[in-house]
Each structure stands twice: as C-alpha cells, then as structure tokens.
Structure 1
Amino acid sequence: MLFINTRPIDRAQALTQCLSQSGFEVLDLPLLELKPRPLTQSLKQLYSQLQHTQCIVVVSPTAVQVGMQYLQQAGILTSQIKHIQWIAVGKKTAEALAEYQISSHVPEVETSEGMLSLPIFNQLQDITQIAFWRGKGGRQFMMQQCTERHIKVLNFVLYERECPQTTLSKFSAWLPHITQAEKPYWNCISSEASWKHWLALTKDHPDVLNDCHYLVLGERLYQLLLDEKNNHQKCFNITKILDLEPNTILQMILQLQRKL
C-alpha cells in the first residue's frame, strides 16, 4: 500500500508516522513550500488599519508565525487589537494562535466554506472590515464572499506557495518505484494550489495521475477534481474528507479498502 504524502514538510510528519505504523509505504513528496514575503510599506499600511478591523482570518500556522512577526515589526501592539475576533482555518492554526494567548473560532470543516458557516458571521452584524492573513493565491473564494456581503477586505499576502525544487527530482527518482507499486496509490490533496502542482508534476505521466485515489478536503475541492476528471476524461477516484487529522485519513483509506 503506497501513500504519496504531498503535505508541506512541516505538516507531513504526523501523517507519515501514522500511516507507516499502520503498514503503509509512505513517500514524502511535498507539493507546497511556504516562503515569507518581505514586510513592505504596503503591508505596513494594512497593519495600521487593523485597529478598525473586526475580524482576522488566519489560514495556516505559517500565516500566524509571519503575521505576528510582522505585526511587531510594524509597531502594532497586541493591546491595540484586543477587540478583534480571530478565525483559524483549523486546529493547528488555532494552536499556533494560542501560543500568542489568542483564542480563535475554528470551523468543523477546515475550508473556506467551513469558516463562512461559523456563527460569528451571523452574530456580528457590524462587521465592516475583515483581514486575511494568507499565502499568495489562497482563500480567493472566501474573500469574494466577504466582498459580496459588502465587507471591506484587508488582503495580507504574507508568503508564497511554491512547489519545492527537490520535489521534481524526487518524483523523477521515485517514478519507476511508484509505477510498479500496488494500485491504487493514495494521495491527500488539501488545496487548489497543491492540486495544480500535482497536475504539472504528472503532466507527462497520466498513468500516475489516474492510478491515484485522492482524498480531498471539502466540497469545493472535491468539485474541482471532479470537473478535471469529467472534462479531461480522467479515470481517477476521489473521496471527500472533512479534516486533515492523520487518523481521519487512515480510517478513510481503511474503509475504502474494504470496499475494493
């Protein structure tokens, strides 16, 4: 049983350990590398507007780390933003915020749709301005939804999301082994960016793309892969998951294997 772990390096270890202990062969092949952007003058101007912001949406532990570092460098005191409600995309992000003594709202489903369904968006009728601490290209859907609700969006692009160069060489080196492994291979896709990188990586190897069974986070990402499958005549399998906890992924694979 082969699992291709495409999670970023700093988030892959727990999943690799869980699956390895359960008898899976795991290949760590991260599709995203998060690199902080510099603290520019435009970012400093966004930080200066936080005093008039009701909510901050934080999309990853990296966004917490970079965002809080730049908050200090921008000369904003935490006492100046004590009024703000914080929304974390998931448990790991909430834990990262807790290290700064910040409590946050966490959705049951770790997606944009999950965050938009939080009661806070209905309870706070006076939300006029919301900030997003995110990486380039992330959370476009949620920001659009806020704009349509006439909420001003402060767009903090704190880091880049690139496919690591080492992943390209690893994939080439492991390709003969992957193609000889028992099918299907298992793969967890947690974002649109990682899916696009995977498509680029397997562009010349359609069998690898089609021989994977993809566990995808949330309905919108599920529909994205489904459209790719139907519109481009692919034959891979897709299953939706509601969170990225290692045991959730393990139990879903075991459940699906019993049906094979």
Structure 2
Amino acid sequence: MSFNKATDSDQTTSGPHSRRRIVLTGVGAIVILAASAVAWAFWPRGTTEVSREEALKDFRDRAGSTTTEPTGEPNPTDTGSTPAAGVYTYRASGEETVKLGPFPEETRPLPETVSAVVVSKPKSCFDFTLNFFEEHTEDTLYCDADGTFTLESHAKHQKIGPASPTANITCDPRVLTAPGSASQDLACKLELEGGPMKVTAEFEGVARTGAAEKLTIGGKQVTVTPVTIDYDITGSVSGSWHEKLWLTAERMPARIERKLDLKGPATFHEDIELELTSLSPAT
C-alpha cells in the first residue's frame, strides 16, 4: 500500500506565505481601484454642447406651453420693453479657464454657436439664459421700467471636475442704464454654493451708456445702445470683470463682449464674444 506525502513545495503553497501573497494582491487591487477613482474624479471632463432641441425643450418647459408664441410686447400693466420669448442663437468665439480648489485647471473653448433662452416674466422682466455648454450656463433676470433697465440677479452654473458650483450674484444698486444718465454705480455680492469651500466676494462697479450704434443682425440694420460694465472685485476671490452689452430697443443683448479674471481658491478667466444671428427666436 502506498501513501501520498505532501512535499515541502506543496506545504509552502498552501501555507501562510500563500495567504500573505493573496492579501497583498488584494490590497494592491484596492489601491489601484482607489487611485483610478481619484483620477476619474479629478480628471478634466471636457465640454458638451447644448443642442438646439435641448434649448427648445428648456424654453417650452419654462414657458409652460408649446403652442403660445409670446410677442415680446409688455403686458398692459407694464411700462417697459422686453424681447420676444424663445430660443436665440449667437455666433461665439473665445474660451474660459476654470479651477476650483484641488481640481485641475481646465481651459474650455466655446463652440461656434451658443443658444440663449428668453422667458417672459411679469412687470416687464425676462429671464435670459446663456448656454455656453452643458458645463457652463448662466441665468440672468433683467427688468425694464420706463426705460430704466436693471440687473435683478445673475447665476453662473458650472461643472468643474466632480463639483457643480453655482455663483449667485445680486446687486444693489442694480441699474444698468436709465434715461438722462450716462453712468450708474453698481454694488454686488457673490456667493459660491456647491463647491468644496465657501467663496464670497464684493463687486464695486459702474455701468456706462454710450451713444446709439448700428449693428447688422440677420441681414438687417438695427439700432442698439452700448452699455459698458466694469467691476472691481475683492473678497475670497479678487480681480475684475469687464462686460459690454449692445442692447436693442427691446433690451435684447445683440452683442456681448466679456473679459473676466478672478483669482483665489476658485479661479475663473473668461475672454468671450457673442453676436446675435437673428432677432426672430425659435419657439
């Protein structure tokens, strides 16, 4: 009768050394997975354009109807002018650079065209949403009363790495242009929500109204009023914001030029130009 004896090598394979190798292999796999997760979280995402169909859906959802076509005329009780509601298109050029906390810096060029959604509000007000791309949209509430045009609120929604911060800006005083006055003082506050740290800032600025100009929009000559806005910014982030709007008689921004430079725990740099392609929006 013969018996099988375990060899030394067999004992080694099934002994504590083998278990140690298994544990180390498991730890290594966990480290690799963790490193991959961190890399994914911090890796720049790039940008995705907002399609015309997406912009139209957004407009119809917010306007509350797919059949009503707002005329852009003020309500009988209103005293100001607002643009026709719908989806507009701008030719776009320029880029932005963003950095938030520990996430890597990203430089993001604008697409050739961007959409803007205008939704009518009571009292001669309107929401103006700019869709630079899915990773950066802006909502601005403007109002007009007897020719006094005001910036009621502004919100920048951005995606930076895994974070989706929103910069909310409110102003008081907030008049951008008024009859009989060439300049208006502005004072605004910024609060950043949804980021890895708290960011606040104070804006001190002035809005200057220039002489009427002519722009060609969709093959038509249109009279516009240029308004130049300059902010000095201090706080958690500091820097400057220079913006020029060419407004139609209905207060539609026909052209926008922006140079924004903010530094601190959150960094934003924008150098962009937008030109309206048509005064007739899609609905």
> Greater Rg, structure 1 or structure 2?
2
Comparing both structures, which one devotes a greater share of its residues to strand? Answer: 2
Give the alignment's TM-score, normalised by structure 2: 0.25
- TM norm structure 1: 0.27
Higher relative contact order (CA 8 A, sep 6+): 1
